[in-house]
Structure 1
Amino acid sequence: MKPTRFIDSVNCAIEGIIHTARTQKHMRRHFLAALFLFPLMLLLRVTETEFILISISVCFVLFAELMNTAVEAVVDLVTTEYHPQAKIAKDVAAGAVLVASIGAAVMGYLVLSKYIFPIYKEALGVVGNPSEMGTLVSLLTVVIVVVILKAISGTGTPLEGGLPSGHAAVAFSVATVVSLSTQNPLISVLTIALAVMVSHSRLLLHIHSMREVLLGAVTGIAITLLIMFLFRYYQ
């Protein structure tokens, strides 16, 4: 029955939001991102206009996810069997979430980069520019450590599977080297994005688990930073 009181309508709306958060992992991730983003904006002391723009972007992403869930529920109510039109409806609704997320990401970058990038650049400068020898030693050390860890874990092969992910380790090692070499926050973010894409491909191919990929990423970053610090200290 359609609610007749305003408070009942509000309760129904809240129940819809709670249902979406409970059943949709992407909605939970959006809420977690918002939970991190809003205190960050206060910490960075963004302007009122910038706060409004990002808030609108966040709300639009949440709105798109709610509509996506509603479309999926209606389609499943009509039919639970595969149908081309049902697939189109769900794909288009998911596409709306993707478009909203991309827009929010662009907005967040344009607003927050001028606050975060100077801090990030200063942090990169603490380690300093890596030497050619330091770069080669870092990459070779990462590969050797990955092989040793795979031998200890007794899983996978040198090029496929096992703990940790060698592709993720090398990709994030390279991203770390490029970040330190250029000390350019934008280039650093782009190379890290490429490392994430390489790591994600290992998950899509079902070659590695999330745990193996994360361990590989941490291994690559930690060893590279350690070698860079050692080279800087002894130079």
Structure 2
Amino acid sequence: MKPTSFVESVNCAIEGILYTARTQKHMRHHFLAALVVLVAALLLRVTLLEFMLLALAISFVLFAELLNTAIEVVVDMISPEFNPMAKLAKDVAAGAVLVAAFGTAIMGYLVLSKYIFPVEKRLLAMVGTGSELGILVSVILVLIAVIILKGVTGSGTPLKGGVPSGHSAVAFSIATSVTLQTQDPLIALLCLILALMVSHSRLLLKIHTVRELVYGALTGISITVAVNLLFNAFA
């Protein structure tokens, strides 16, 4: 029934938000990301205008996800059986969420990068720059470590499956080496995105689990940083 008062209208709206958060994992991810970004903005002491822009961008993503969920519910109600047009409607609604999320990511980068990048530069300087020999040694040691760990755990093969993910380990090792070599926060971010894409592809192919990918990433990063510190200590 249609709400008869403002309070009932607000309650209905809250119920819609709770339903979306309860049934849609992407909505929970958006809420978690919003929490992280807003807390970071407060800790970094962004300006009032910057905080307003972040809040507006986050609200836009949440709005898009709510609208997407509403469209999905209506489509499922009208067309419970598979229908190409119903699928198209859902895909377009999901595309709206993707566009909103992409725009918000750009906004977050533009606002927060000038606060985070100087801190990252200092952290990278503490580890030191990489070397060509160190990069090669790191990759070789990562591959050896992956083979040994897979042999110990008795899972997968050197090139497929098992703990840890070899693709993830090598991807994050190379990303770490490039980051240390360039000492550039933007390049570090782009390398991280590429490493995540490589790891995500293994997940989509159902070759690895999230746990195996995380172990691979930690293996690649830790060995590469350790080798870099060792080379710098004896340089």
Fold conserved (TM > 0.5)? yes
**Residue aligning to 1:91:** 91
| Distance in 2 of aligned mates of 1:210 and 1:46 | 34
Please state how far the C-alpha of 1:197 moved relative to its aligned partner.
Answer: 0.5
Q: Normalised by the size of structure 2, how large is the TM-score?
A: 0.98
Comparing 100-109 with 131-140, which one deviates more in the overlay?
Answer: 131-140
| Distance in 2 of aligned mates of 1:133 and 1:94 | 46
**Residue aligning to 2:147:** 147
| Distance in 1 of aligned mates of 2:183 and 2:143 | 24
CA RMSD, Structure 1 to Structure 2 (Å): 0.7
Comparing 127-136 with 178-187, which one deviates more in the overlay?
Answer: 127-136
Please state how far the C-alpha of 1:234 moved relative to its aligned partner.
Answer: 2.3
**Residue aligning to 2:162:** 162
1:51-130 equivalences under 5 Å are: 51-130=51-130
Share of identical aligned residues, percent? 63
Q: Deviations over 1:75-110 (max 9, x none)?
A: 111122110110111001000000000000000011
Q: How many residues align?
A: 235
**Residue aligning to 2:177:** 177
Corresponding letter in the other structure for 1:125: A
| Distance in 1 of aligned mates of 2:133 and 2:92 | 51
Please state how far the C-alpha of 1:138 moved relative to its aligned partner.
Answer: 1.0
| Distance in 2 of aligned mates of 1:39 and 1:164 | 33
Moved >2 Å (runs of 4+): none
Q: Deviations over 1:183-217 (max 9, x none)?
A: 01111100111111110110111111111111100
Task: Say yes or no: does 1:192 pair with 2:179.
Answer: no
Task: Say yes or no: does 1:202 pair with 2:235.
Answer: no
| Distance in 2 of aligned mates of 1:74 and 1:132 | 57
**Residue aligning to 2:47:** 47
Corresponding letter in the other structure for 1:36: V
Structure 2 unaligned residues grouped into runs of 5+: none
Corresponding letter in the other structure for 2:126: V
SS in 1 for 2:163: coil
| Distance in 2 of aligned mates of 1:59 and 1:146 | 43
